[in-house]
Amino acid sequence: MYDVLVIGAGPAGSTAAKVLADRGLRVLLAEKCALPRYKSCSGVLIKRSMDLVKLYFGENVPLSVTCEPAENRGMIFTNDCGREYRFAQEGLNVWRSSFDNWLAEKAGESGAQVRDCTTVVACEEKDGFVEVTLQGKETFVEKAAYVLDCEGVVGAVRRRLRKETLECITTYQTFNEGTIDLDPHYFYAYLQPELSEYDAWFNVKDNLLVLGVSVKDPARIPLFYDRFLGYMRERHNLRINRQTKEEKWLMPHVRPGCRIDFGMGRVLFTGEAAGFLNPMGEGISAGMESGFLAANAVAAHFEDPRRVCDVYRDSAAGLKSYMERQWDLVAGMAGTFREMAF
C-alpha cells in the first residue's frame, strides 16, 4: 500500500512526488514512457518556472538540460493587427526530455519510487483507499491512500473517471536547418487569425529553427503552416535548407473562465490534466505549482480525505487567478483572444 501514487513524470508529477517523498510519505511515481521521455515543447522556462525549481527542488536548473542558446530573454508577440509587443524577461531554453528527466531523478533521490514504462490504466476509489491498475511488462494492481493524476493533456485516466474528454488544440511544429533574421534568444508568437487558429510560433533550439502552428481542426494544419512559412519568408527572410523533424501534439483548449478540475475524494488532478495552461502554451510553471499544492494538501490532511480536495482547490486560488490574469492580458492585446477577457 502506497501513501500516494502519482501518475506521470512531467513537471507536475515529479514535483508532487518529490514534495511528498521529502515529507516522508511512501510514493510511487508511475510513468508510461521510458525515461527520459520525449515531450513536444518549445522548452522555454520562464522566470517563474526557474524560481519554482529553486523553491521546490532547492537548486537551480542545471545547464546540462539546456540547449543553444541556453538563455531565453523573453517573448515577442505580434497581435492580430500586426502590432509587436516585447516582454523582456530572464529565462532558459531547455530540452524537455533532459529537464523532465532531471526532475524525475530528483524525485527519486528524495525517496519516491520511480517506475517508467508503466501505464496506469484505471483507478477506482474504494473504502479508504484507491485501487490502481497498472500495465508494465504485465498488468498488476496497487493500492494507495491517494492518487495524484498528473498525466498531462491526454488524460485517459481522468477521462475514464469523469466520462468526458478534455477539449484540446492540436499543435504542429517542425525543426529545420536554415537561416532567419530574428534573435534566437527570444520566443516569437504570432496571433494573426490567418496564420493559425490559436497561435503560431518561432524559436531556436541547438541551431534548429522551430516553426509551429496550433489549430482546432487538425485537417487545417497544412493550410496554416504553409501560410505561416510564407509570412516568415516575407517578413523575416526565413530560408529553410532541410526539415529534420516534424511533430504533432495536443494542449488543453482553455475557455473563458479558465475552468479547472481539481479532482474528487482521494484522486486529485494537477497540471494539464486539471486544465492548467497559461497563454502561448506556457504550462511548466502551472504544472509544477499545482503539483506542489496538491501534494501539500495531501501531506497536510492525510488522515482527513474529505478535506484534501477542498484544501487543494483553495490553496490553488492564487494560481488560477494568475492564469486568468494572463489570459486577460492577452485578450487586451489581441482581438483573437477577446473572448478570454474578464
- Cβ proximity to ligand FAD: between 152 and 263 the closer is 152
Kindly tell me which of 201 and 234 has the beta carbon lying closer to ligand FAD: 201
CB of 189 to ligand FAD, least distance (A): 10
Residues numbered 58-117 forming contacts with ligand FAD, rule: CB under 6 A: none
Q: Which three cell numbers mark 114?
A: 520511480
Q: Which stretch binds ligand FAD (CB under 6 A): 159-167, 275-283, 306-314, 318-326?
A: 275-283
The smaller minimum CB distance to ligand FAD, of residues 184 and 281, is found at 281
Three-state DSSP at 266 gives: coil
Helix and strand counts by DSSP (H, E) for the chain = 9, 16
Q: Is 284 in the site for ligand FAD (CB under 6 A)?
A: yes
Sign of the torsion angle spanned by Cα atoms 85, 89, 93, 99 = negative
For ligand FAD, which residue of 4, 12, 204, 215 counts as binding (CB under 6 A)? Answer: 12
Stretch that binds ligand FAD, among 32-40, 51-59, 234-242, 327-335 (CB under 6 A): 32-40
The residue number whose beta carbon is nearest to ligand FAD equals 283
C-beta of 281: minimal distance to ligand FAD in Å? 4
Looking at 42, 79, 170, 196, which residue binds ligand FAD (CB under 6 A)? 42
For ligand FAD, the closer of residues 171 and 336 by Cβ is 171
CA–CA separation, 125 and 167 (whole Å): 25
How does DSSP classify residue 26?
Answer: -
In three-state secondary structure terms, 246 is strand
Distance CA 311, CA 294 (A): 8
Run of H or E including 3: strand 2-7
Shortest CB 196 distance to ligand FAD, Å: 12
Q: How far apart are CA 171 and CA 253, in angstroms?
A: 11
Residues in Cβ contact with 214 at an 8 Å cutoff, skipping those fewer than 6 apart: 169, 170, 171, 172, 196, 197, 198, 199, 200, 251, 281
Q: Segment contacting ligand FAD (CB under 6 A): 41-49, 217-225, 233-241, 328-336?
A: 41-49
Are 330 and 277 spatial neighbours (Cβ–Cβ below 8 Å)? no
Residues in contact with ligand FAD by the rule CB under 6 A: 7-13, 30-33, 37, 39-44, 49, 119-120, 150-152, 154, 156-157, 171, 173, 212, 249, 251, 271-273, 277, 281-284, 287
